[in-house]
């Protein structure tokens, strides 16, 4: 194990180009950017936690949701891919039983006393609650853990739909797993992180985001048993055909303050399920739902009914997307992407907030994408929880420059990202 200063010297000299290239590609410009980024993170660690510490560096990727919008929390299917935008964490063990985390772009230093396990008043919806919840998840799994100091630098857009929260959570879990030799696999880490987000942070999310960050590549997940989801890894190089690129555009409207809107989707779906004797829609046969439709409209309201229809259709669509990817039928996959996007508007109703109709950045981005890509082999849809954040688009390379220029003209410089997929899940890098 090297000190932070020694690692900086080694990175600058190119000695770690191999591990960096495995994560970010071999393009000289990208390697130079990552060398500078890692060196800066190490330098910032020294600034906050002192020089001479022996450290390790961890990486946890963001993810692009490919299919299964709001299906995972109903015990359905999910499809997602890890991307090269990631969180990097420089970490060192300590012996005082505290976790201290400083994150780039945030003024606050999170300080968590591990002797206090239960959720703390006023801490929910803040990063400290996630750290405390993940620690408790490790202890519940029978793992002995201790304190650490860490500095994090994330390229995953906050509140954007690329799941910066899952990257942060999995990054913290990787630190404990590595620093204290806990030996948990990617699925176990994802489960712990979902527990922290649900119980301590207060967001009723599913587990697809954490699994995608932990496992890497393209994953298809079956959440029929959410305590032990079945995960199939599809290699990332099988997603895009030659001449096709995946773009995400940040509409610069954060969804980080929209927990209530996300929670309502789950609550309304589960209200429908409860009327039919289930806890979640995955436990209710679709035929039972359609047979009870008149009664459900009265008992739950039309929006809840429409969101339940979205679940059943999106779940079947996600299974069809998996088959299309495995059989390398991208045209069929793209058609399903478009169907999913239309369902977000009409059924799930999570493209914009009905209480804030002046701000509909996702709708504008989708309309602009349609104006450019309609009639091509491309596709476009909202991704993530919705209401704000990002859209994704599959853009033929012949239209890429036009598309990129148009999106950044409307949403600002740096808003449109050309993504590369990442085969590797979260891990210790250096």
DSSP state of 196: I
* Per-residue model confidence as pLDDT tens digits over 251-302: 987 655 677 888 899 999 999 999 999 999 999 999 999 999 999 999 999 9
Length of the chain: 430
Pairing of strands 77-93, 148-154: antiparallel
Mean pLDDT across the chain? 94
Q: How far is CA 266 from each of CA 69, 78, 253, 279, rounded to the nearest angstrom? A: 11, 15, 22, 11
CA atoms within 13 A on the CB side of 377: 15
Pairing of strands 244-250, 416-419: antiparallel
Model confidence, pTM: 0.90
| β partners of residue 103 | 152
Would you say residue 174 has pLDDT above 60?
yes
Cβ atoms of residues 241 and 179 within 8 Å = no
DSSP state of 3: B
Compare 1 and 194 and report the one with higher pLDDT.
Answer: 194
Closest C-alpha among 156, 270, 282, 175 to residue 223: 282
Residue 99 main-chain phi, psi, to 5 deg: -110, 130
Cβ atoms of residues 73 and 205 within 8 Å = yes
Would you say residue 158 has pLDDT above 80?
no
Compare 1 and 28 and report the one with higher pLDDT.
Answer: 28
**Domains of the chain, start order:** 4-235+422-428 (3.30.230.10), 244-419 (3.30.70.890)
Cβ atoms of residues 218 and 79 within 8 Å = yes
Residues near 394 by beta carbon (within 8 Å), at least 6 away in sequence: 240, 244, 245, 246, 247, 334, 337, 377, 378, 379, 380
pLDDT of res. 409: 98
Rounded Cα gap, residues 71 and 54, in angstroms:
43
Widest CA span in the chain: 69
* Per-residue model confidence as pLDDT tens digits over 387-429: 888 899 999 999 999 999 999 999 999 899 999 999 999 999 9
């Amino acid at each position: 194990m090297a000190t932070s200063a020694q690692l900086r010297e080694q990175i600058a000299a190119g000695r770690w180009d191999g591990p960096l290239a495995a994560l970010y590609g071999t393009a000289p410009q990208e390697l130079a950017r990552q060398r500078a980024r890692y060196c800066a993170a190490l330098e910032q660690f020294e600034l906050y936690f002192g020089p001479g510490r022996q450290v390790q560096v961890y990486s946890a990727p963001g993810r692009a949701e490919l299919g299964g919008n709001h299906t995972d929390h109903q015990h359905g299917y999910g499809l997602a891919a890890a991307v090269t935008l990631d969180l990097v964490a420089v970490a060192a063990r300590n012996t005082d039983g505290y976790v201290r985390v400083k994150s780039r772009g945030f003024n606050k230093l999170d300080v968590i006393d591990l002797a206090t396990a239960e959720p703390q008043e006023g801490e929910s919806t803040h990063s400290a609650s996630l750290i405390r919840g993940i620690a408790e998840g490790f202890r519940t799994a029978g793992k002995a853990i201790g304190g650490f100091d860490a500095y994090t630098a994330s390229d995953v857009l906050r509140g954007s739909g690329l799941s910066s929260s899952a990257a942060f959570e999995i990054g913290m879990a990787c630190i404990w797993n590595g620093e204290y030799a806990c030996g948990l696999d990617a699925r176990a880490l994802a489960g712990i992180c979902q527990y922290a987000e649900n119980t301590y942070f207060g967001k009723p999310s599913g587990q697809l985001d954490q699994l995608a960050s932990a496992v890497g590549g393209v994953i298809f997940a079956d959440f029929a048993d959410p305590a032990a989801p079945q995960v199939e890894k599809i290699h990332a190089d099988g997603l895009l055909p030659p001449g096709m690129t995946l773009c995400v555009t940040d509409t610069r409207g954060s969804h980080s303050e929209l927990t209530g809107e996300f929670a309502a989707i789950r609550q309304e779906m589960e209200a429908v399920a409860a009327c039919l004797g289930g806890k979640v829609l995955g436990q209710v046969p679709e035929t039972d739902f359609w047979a009870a439709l008149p009664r459900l409209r009265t008992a739950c309201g039309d929006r809840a009914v429409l969101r339940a229809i979205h679940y059943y259709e999106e779940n079947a669509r996600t299974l069809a997307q998996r088959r299309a990817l495995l059989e390398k039928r991208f045209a069929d996959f793209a058609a399903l992407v478009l169907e999913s996007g239309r369902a977000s508007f009409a059924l799930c109703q999570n493209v914009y907030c009905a209480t804030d109709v002046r701000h509909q950045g996702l709708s504008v981005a989708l309309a602009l994408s349609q104006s450019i890509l309609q009639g091509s082999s491309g596709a476009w849809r909202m991704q993530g929880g919705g209401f704000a954040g990002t859209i994704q688009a599959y853009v033929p390379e012949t239209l890429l420059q036009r598309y990129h220029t148009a999106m950044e003209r409307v949403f600002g410089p740096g808003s449109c990202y050309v993504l590369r997929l990442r085969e590797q899940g979260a891990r210790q890098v250096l």
